[in-house]
Amino acid sequence: MPSLGADMEAGTLVEWKIKPGDRVKRGDIVAEVETEKSEIDVEIFATGIVHELLVQPGDKVPVGTVLATIREDHEEPAAVTPAPARLRISPLAKKLAAELGVDATRIRGTGPEGAITREDVEKAAPAPKIQPAPRPDFQAGMRRAVAAAMSRSNREIPHYYLETHIDMQLSLDWLARENLNRPVKDRLLPAALLLRAVVHALHVVPELNGYWIDDHLEIKPSVNIGFAIALRQGGLITPAILDANEKSLDQLMHSLSDLISRARQGGLRSSELSEGTITVSNLGDLGVEAVYGVIYPPQVALVGFGRVQERPWASAGMLGVRPVLAATLAGDHRATDGRQGAQFLEALDRFLQEPEKL
């Protein structure tokens, strides 16, 4: 059972996507696992042939439990580790289907791309309709998971906080011009530009991208940005855009759209929940001015963005009104100090003043 975040202690195997004798390669989805936050597609990190499945669907097992054994081609047993067309169903609908005893594979979905929605499940439920009560359980599970991670973070990580205000005029003007010439489906959101600026700023201060493990900082070469996404049933989940440092602005926008859709409809991959190297929390849509985040261990930094709002702005002796963004950094003082944090925010600001280069 892979650890899909610092807050995860156990998971329930929902479904195997493989059977003994199947050939699998690194990155294949081999199982679906339910955690307290969501249902996740588990990827395999080895290549070989499935030897034995050791855990049955429905079993809840602790993190670290061997789910299956695989063997390499032409070899005798038994390396360790943990798909046909996947059912498109939201986590909430799936949970409801299980509670109501409805076979979700027999439901015709009416959601996006045929996804099964809560309403579809309720309609398919047997006549004397059981009053569904999944929300309190789900919420309780979500709160427990968040509580575990954040308590650990506050217990272990000596946070420091820095904040800067960034004039977004040039960035927003550039985005407006850019989007004017694009088909609707290719429009860019400001969030994509911010992520790209974060990637560039991490090139300047790579110490913020990594893990604090065994009393030392491991700087990671790949930038996997965990992006906090609000779930419709409540709570937040922070799947990562993997290898964000290798993606163009358009690719980042595409990855962001894909990640948000899958976080809300189901279909996140295990690596997206376990390999984030830094987190970005963009709560501007919720109207907050600034975000003072709690670092997700073992990461060492969290970048927060509030909403862009018009403010009086003095520049070169002139007073004007500008769209201003409050950008914050929560840093792990064991890994970096305020000087590096300040360099990061300064670089972030600088890159957002030259959006055409992002």
Partner 1 sequence: MTEQDLRRHILDIIHRVAPEADLSALGPEQDLRETLDIDSFDFLTIVIAINDKLQVNIPESDYRQVSTLAGIMQYLSHLTAASKGK
Q: Which residues bind partner 1 (CB under 8 A)?
A: 90, 92, 111-112, 117-119, 176, 179-180, 184-185, 187, 189-191, 230, 232-233, 256-257, 260, 285-286
- The token duo for 157 is 């990580």
- The token duo for 92 is 């909430």
Nearer to partner 1, 46 or 98 (CB): 98
**What CA–CA distances, in Å, run from 249 to 137, 143, 245?**
39, 34, 10
Residue whose entry in the numeric block shows the structure tokens 């403010």: 311
What's the min distance (Å) between Cβ of 59 and partner 1? 30
What's the min distance (Å) between Cβ of 115 and partner 1? 8
Nearer to partner 1, 160 or 174 (CB): 174
What's the min distance (Å) between Cβ of 266 and partner 1? 12
Nearer to partner 1, 111 or 132 (CB): 111
Nearer to partner 1, 72 or 250 (CB): 250
Is 234 within 8 Å of 91 (Cβ atoms)?
no
What's the min distance (Å) between Cβ of 89 and partner 1? 11
Nearer to partner 1, 60 or 177 (CB): 177
Nearer to partner 1, 68 or 283 (CB): 283
What's the min distance (Å) between Cβ of 21 and partner 1? 39
How many angstroms separate the CA atoms of 189 and 167, rounded?
Answer: 17
Nearer to partner 1, 256 or 335 (CB): 256
Nearer to partner 1, 184 or 319 (CB): 184
Burial classification of residue 156, based on how many CB atoms lie within 10 Å of its CB (0-12 exposed, 13-18 middle, 19 or more buried): middle
What's the min distance (Å) between Cβ of 134 and partner 1? 12
Is 64 within 8 Å of 1 (Cβ atoms)?
yes
Nearer to partner 1, 210 or 239 (CB): 239
Query: Which residues fall within 8 angstroms of residue 61, CB to CB, at 6 or more apart?
Result: 1, 10, 11, 12, 13, 55, 67
Which among 13, 57, 3 has a CA at the least distance from the CA of 33? 13
Is 171 within 8 Å of 349 (Cβ atoms)?
no
What's the min distance (Å) between Cβ of 111 and partner 1? 5
Q: Is the peptide bond before 298 cis (omega within 30 degrees of 0)?
A: yes
Nearer to partner 1, 289 or 346 (CB): 289
What's the min distance (Å) between Cβ of 176 and partner 1? 6
What's the min distance (Å) between Cβ of 181 and partner 1? 11
The amino acid at 216: H
Question: In sequence order, what DSSP letters do the residues of 260-305 get, joined into one string?
Answer: HHHHHHS-EEHHHHH--SEEEEE-GGGT-S-------TTB-EEEEE
Question: In sequence order, what DSSP letters do the residues of 107-162 get, joined into one string?
Answer: ----SGGG-B-HHHHHHHS-SS-----HHHHHHHHHHHHHHHHHHHHHHH--EEEE
DSSP letter (8 states) at residue 44: P
What's the min distance (Å) between Cβ of 335 and partner 1? 31
Could you give the 3-state DSSP secondary structure of residue 46?
A: coil
Largest interatomic CA distance in the chain: 76
